[in-house]
Amino acid sequence: MHRMRRLASAIAVAFALSLPGAATATAEPPSSPPVAHAAHSCSSGYKHAVTPGGHKCLRAGQYCSTKPGYAPVYKSKGYVCRGGRLKYR
């Protein structure tokens, strides 16, 4: 889903740049610095991870996916998926 959004954004930018006058248009600098958004956070006792399915908060005992790509993420956070549940390594 995220890849499709990025592709759509890239196509929209490419289209906008192909319009007449787009290359000569000047952008004004922002009047204030950009606001930084807080990173995804998890409650105490959970570890944040970016899995192939998106952002997740991991904790021992939770359901885990056995699909390819998840095991390295679990391992990097100190977990292993056994019997469909997360366990500490």
* Helix (H), strand (E), coil (C) string for the chain: CHHHHHHHHHHHHHHHHHCCCCCCCCCCCCCCCCCCCCCCCCCCCCEEEEECCEEEEECCCCECCCCCCHHHHHHHCCEEEECCEEEEC
Burial degree of 36 (CB within 10 A; 0-12, 13-18, 19+): exposed
What tokens were used for 22?
């787009």
Per-residue pLDDT of the chain (89 residues; tens, 9 = 90+): 556 666 666 666 666 666 665 555 556 656 666 655 556 789 999 999 999 999 999 999 999 999 999 999 999 999 999 999 999 98
Say what the pLDDT of residue 19 is: 61
Say what the pLDDT of residue 41 is: 86
Q: Compute the distance between CA of residue 36 and CA of residue 19 in angstroms, rounded to an integer.
A: 31
6 phi, psi to nearest 5 deg: -65, -40
Say what the pLDDT of residue 69 is: 94
Say what the pLDDT of residue 18 is: 65
Say what the pLDDT of residue 56 is: 94
